[in-house]
């Protein structure tokens, strides 16, 4: 079971990353764009906390996405230290595209499952997560 979960988890991550690469995004960038989209105008540190990366790493990540024209750093009106992060229209459409891809990926994982089988699997996995004391955040259900 442990081996199965590890292998499946690793393989789904790896292949989703491959699929996502067709949009020019890495998984972490996808997560970052999603976090910015959920609430525009957040500081870099706020977003860094949500995607669980150190702020120093955040800088290069944002640099890159800004160079690609997917997000913007805008000055904070009252605090000149902080940069507010916003999606550009290009970033927004990239996120939409990646989100669509993620949906397809979900579907392909569960190909041949009927709804009750799919929810049964999620329920059993949820119990494993409980046994680990892990609470999963369902960005994508």
The interface partner of residue 22, options being a copy of itself, DNA, none and the CB cut-off 5 to 8 Å by kind, is none
Residue 91 CB, nearest approach to DNA (Å): 17
- Angstrom distances, CA of residue 139 to CA of 48, 53, 81, 82, 129: 16, 17, 30, 27, 16
Residue 108 CB, nearest approach to a copy of itself (Å): 6
Q: Does 106 sit near a copy of itself (CB under 8 A)?
A: yes
- Report whether 63 contacts 52 (CB < 8 A): no
Of 10 and 45, which has the nearer Cβ to DNA?
45
| Rg for the chain, CA atoms, rounded | 17
Residue 97 CB, nearest approach to a copy of itself (Å): 17
Q: Which two tokens stand for residue 124?
A: 């059993």
Of 73 and 97, which has the nearer Cβ to DNA?
73
- Report whether 65 contacts 29 (CB < 8 A): yes
- Show contacts with a copy of itself in window 43-72 (CB under 8 A): none
């Amino acid at each position: 079971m442990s081996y199965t979960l590890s292998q499946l988890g690793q393989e789904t991550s790896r292949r989703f990353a491959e699929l996502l690469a067709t949009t020019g995004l890495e998984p972490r960038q996808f997560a970052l764009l999603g976090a910015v989209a959920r609430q525009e105008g957040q500081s870099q540190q706020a977003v860094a906390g949500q995607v669980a990366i150190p702020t120093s790493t955040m800088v290069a990540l944002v640099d890159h996405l800004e160079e690609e024209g997917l997000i913007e750093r805008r000055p904070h009106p009252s605090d000149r230290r902080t940069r507010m992060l916003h999606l550009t229209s290009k970033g927004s459409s990239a996120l939409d595209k990646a989100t669509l891809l993620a949906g397809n990926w979900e579907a392909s994982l569960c190909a041949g499952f009927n709804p009750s089988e799919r929810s049964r699997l999620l329920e059993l996995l949820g119990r494993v997560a409980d046994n680990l004391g892990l609470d999963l955040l369902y960005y994508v259900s």
